[in-house]
Amino acid sequence: MKFINVGYGNMTAAHRLIAIVSPDAAPVRRMVQDARDAGHVIDATCGHKTRAVLVTDSEHVILSPLMPETIAARIDGKTED
């Protein structure tokens, strides 16, 4: 099982991720709000700006302060620490 750093020392299982998207679009904001209402949001930003939204196969939504490109590179093994 491979874990990736999603910001500030927070880790998630890479094989559980379905999508990594930017939080700027209105549908993504609605998805985050719906997940927040359902109690399925994991906020890994530590108070910083959300730059990526990670969707998991368990319908959890993870908020990350890292850019989506950075997270994708970490999954591919091209670490950008």
Kindly report, residue by residue over 20-59, the tens digit of the pLDDT: 999 999 999 999 999 999 999 999 999 999 999 999 999 9
Beta strands in 2-81 (DSSP E): 3-7, 10-13, 17-21, 41-43, 52-56, 61-64
Confidence of residue 81 (pLDDT cuts 50, 70, 90): low
SS3 62: strand
**Is 50 within a domain?**
yes
Give residue 29's domain range: 3-76
Q: Is pLDDT at 80 greater than 80 in this prediction?
A: no
Using alpha carbons, list the distances in angstroms from residue 25 to 1, 21, 22, 68: 31, 9, 7, 14
pLDDT at 78: 79
Domain count, the chain: 1
d(CA 31, CA 44): 17
pLDDT at 8: 96
**Is 81 within a domain?**
no
